[in-house]
Structure 1
Amino acid sequence: MDYQQPRPGCSHHQGTVTLTFPRRVMECVDICSTADRLGLSDNQVTALVSATLKAGGADLDKFVISTSTTRRNRMLTRYHISQEYMAAFSEDPPKYAALHWDGKMLRDVLGSNPGTTSETLAVLVSGPPAYPEGKLLGVPVIDSSTGTAQAEASMDLLEAWGLTGVITALVFDTTASNSGVHRGAAKLLEQQLDRKVFYLACRHHILEVLVGAVWENLFGKVKSPENPWLKHFKDVWTDLTTDNPTTLSIRQKWLNKRRKSARKYYRKILRSEKPPRADYREMAELTLIVLGDTPPRGIHWSRPGAIHQARWMARNLYSMKMFMFAEQLEYDEETVVKLERLNLFLGLFYTPMWMSSTLAADAAANDLQFMKDMMKFKRTDPEIAQAVLQKLENHKWYLTQELCRSLSR
């Protein structure tokens, strides 16, 4: 049927469906929960529901509907839904659990000041058998990102969910507000729990520090929000021909052996039933290419995206492409050598470590092996190896006797 422009207003001359709405329409759970999922403000929900009722020929004076009513019922709906989740959770709680938290500035879409940004804290727990991937406890707004504020908000949620007695580990990134010796959130939470717990610092954040030290050693410290090397590469990407990328030429026998095992490892990851997320998958595929292999799904080049310093994955992804297309980018010989050294480190040592770093139980063994590899790598590139070892030395504080003893069992 050809599309016809609808007449102004709402026509009832065609087939209609009769619906029944409660007088207190905003008490409908489906309306409130859907509005929350869509991130609609109270004014937007009220206007939309009112327009729907009016389009159906209803007299709005017969309904209890206003912005304040909408606000009140949405808050009540959230409360009831949360109580249902908490009741279901209490029936099968984890026997032992790890507490995770992380803060972020988010735009307020459900609160009293829509459009404004606030410091929020996502808090969740993970623990077998029912919650190996985590259970969100809440996302409270906090006054600041200090360790005290994060610890208090996390503890409030643990008490509300009745989980203070099952927390055996803390999972956090390595910012000072979390890992500080005296006022870090981890230290404060351990004091409030009144017992020793395992510190499982985010390995990705630690590894980001390592590769940052390598980059600084080769190219100098980046003082601007955006890395100028990456910015230039992004600007000229569309002018590059991607048919014939340069790959690493490795001569040393032990490094060639390492390359063979690394390529096998990447192919295994990329062929798994649950391949890594997009940026991790791209890193594994680029590493395979730079090592002279072809990824299982073929060679695909992703367009450069964010280059802000906070997007630390970009440094790894783009440095591999920069090396593979260095000739077209017209880098001088010194820059090409630096990129080759960086990619040798990334391809043979760093990326495998990155891909396996999510296994907290293997952290101590992986770190030890990584340190051994870097001590051996000193024969090939003493500057890069020493830069990595110095940073690793600063991140051994999590290796407590309790952790090592438990991992050895």
Structure 2
Amino acid sequence: MKGTNEPCGTIIARLTCKLLQGWCCTDQVVNMAFDTTASNTGHLTAACIAIQLSLGRPLLWSGCRHHIGEVLLTCHIFTDLKVETSRSPDVTLFTRLRDNWDLVSHKERSPLSRYIPDEAEPPFLGKLRAELIACTAGVLDYKRGDYREFVQLCLVYLGADGAAHTPVTFQRPGALHKARWMAKLLYTLKLALMEQHIALLPHGTITTRQQVRKIRTFANFITHIYATWWLTCDTAVDAAWNDLTLYHNLYAYKSVDERIAASAIKALERHLWYLTGEMLPLALFSTKVPVGERRALADAILEQRPADLPMRAPQLRFGTGFGKPKFPTLSPTTSLADLANPDCWFGMHQLHIDPVFLSLAVEDWAASEAFQMGAVNVRAINVVNDCAERGVKLTSDFVAAARSEEHLQNVLQAVEHDRSKQPNLRRCKCKLDHN
């Protein structure tokens, strides 16, 4: 920042602690949710370490799961596939799609290029498709905007029942810059679905021959591996199970595309925030984790019980107890119980989880008062920072119009209220009938 030699993390920590003191909630903070950038997670002067130093006690670390998904998909897989090699701020492939949008015949009755399994397809892909279709049935009603469009495109691409006989509403491409990472999901699926329509245009108008194959590869990965994880990633109690399941699915996907699976595994291994011992107790409260897995995890945590309780500081961190948690090493046979370590008890202490229910049968946990109180605490953990990002965007848009902090807060609330009441008139729509 201008006018100071202080590290950015120190400045952020000072301002954060000042806000916490003003809100009178310093003692209630137990967890930090953040984008996993070096300025937040570095080992020396990053914001997460500086905040803990200012508070004088260690906190839990929760990497934003949406940011993890962005890094996994766009910074590694999309880049390693070399779908787009341009270094411009915009993805030129998507720019050509937008510029030539009206050249694609939206009135043709030729079918969309959906995914069609062949005889050589590994059986687990069919299982993954079924899981995604079942998952979308529970989330489609409350998704909106880009997320809702993403769900609909996945269903159409996979030829889900009902979706295969319904006209598809395609929104005209809007923002295409590389920072808008959802564009890679939406426009890749559109390009894959419209492959036969685009093929009627002169070669290179939108896609090249090499890009067609890479787009199809990327779309297959999105719909079979990535989409289910993405649609369920914002639930804290399911985070550990979802990440471990994703790792196992990626390992199995090597039989389909070893290159893309290896790229994804490499990225995921850098973001195992929720498979550390500190965060592992959250999985005890997940209904997605099978009963046998939860029982084994509870037994493993009990076996790792340290001599001195309560455990007020973690052991497996870089540097001091304020450093970044050390990530575990995974294998194709790793279970949640294999990841238990003494730091589980630090996480339970932070979240005020009474361990008395661990010795009970899993079927009896729901009736335990200790389990019920623990469930309330862990479900309050925030594992995405979308609200903070929306606040930053609003602030950057309207800070120049504010004459004081109070005035700025009033402006932001008024704008947010107005946007929630107005329909999205930014983009027109078109339909492709693929019966």
| TM-score, normalised via structure 1 length | 0.61
Equivalence for 1:258: 128
Residue from 233, 245, 263 that aligns with 1:357: 233
Paired letter, 2:196: E
Contact 1:168 1:197 in 2 (8 A): yes
Question: Is the counterpart of residue 238 in structure 1 residue 102 in structure 2?
Answer: yes
Runs of at least 4 residues off by over 4 Å: 142-145, 294-298
Alpha-carbon distance in structure 2 between the residues aligned to 1:192 and 1:297: 56
C-alpha displacement of 1:317: 0.4
Residue from 72, 81, 93 that aligns with 1:210: 72
Q: CA RMSD in A?
A: 2.5
Q: State the structure with bigger RCO (CA 8 A, min sep 6), 1 or 2.
A: 2
Contact 2:31 2:59 in 1 (8 A): yes
SS in 1 for 2:237: helix
Alpha-carbon distance in structure 2 between the residues aligned to 1:357 and 1:286: 19
Equivalence for 1:315: 184
Question: Is the counterpart of residue 157 in structure 1 residue 24 in structure 2?
Answer: no
The gaps in structure 2 that reach 5 residues or longer are: 200-206, 285-297, 299-435
Q: Cα–Cα, structure 1 residues 297 and 203, in superposed 2: closer, same or farther, change >3 Å?
A: farther
Equivalence for 1:249: 116
Q: Cα–Cα, structure 1 residues 202 and 297, in superposed 2: closer, same or farther, change >3 Å?
A: farther
Equivalence for 1:268: 138
Residue from 74, 93, 99 that aligns with 1:229: 93
SS in 1 for 2:234: coil
**Structure with the higher strand share, 1 or 2:** 1
Equivalence for 2:288: none
Encode CA deviations 1:175-200: one digit per residue, 9 max, x unaligned: 22112222121111122222222111
Residue from 55, 59, 65 that aligns with 1:197: 59
The gaps in structure 1 that reach 5 residues or longer are: 1-117, 120-141
Paired letter, 1:161: W
Alpha-carbon distance in structure 1 between the residues aligned to 2:11 and 2:33: 17
**Structure with the higher helix share, 1 or 2:** 2
C-alpha displacement of 1:210: 1.2
C-alpha displacement of 1:285: 0.6
Contact 1:200 1:360 in 2 (8 A): no
Q: Cα–Cα, structure 1 residues 399 and 260, in superposed 2: closer, same or farther, change >3 Å?
A: closer
Report sequence identity in percent. 30
The aligned runs of 1:28-177 (5 Å cut-off) are 146-177=8-39
Kindly tell me the number of residue pairs found equivalent between the two proteins: 267
Residue from 17, 42, 47 that aligns with 1:180: 42
The aligned runs of 1:381-392 (5 Å cut-off) are 381-392=257-268
SS in 1 for 2:117: coil
| TM-score, normalised via structure 2 length | 0.57
Q: Cα–Cα, structure 1 residues 145 and 399, in superposed 2: closer, same or farther, change >3 Å?
A: farther
Alpha-carbon distance in structure 2 between the residues aligned to 1:406 and 1:325: 42
C-alpha displacement of 1:332: 4.6
Q: Cα–Cα, structure 1 residues 356 and 222, in superposed 2: closer, same or farther, change >3 Å?
A: farther
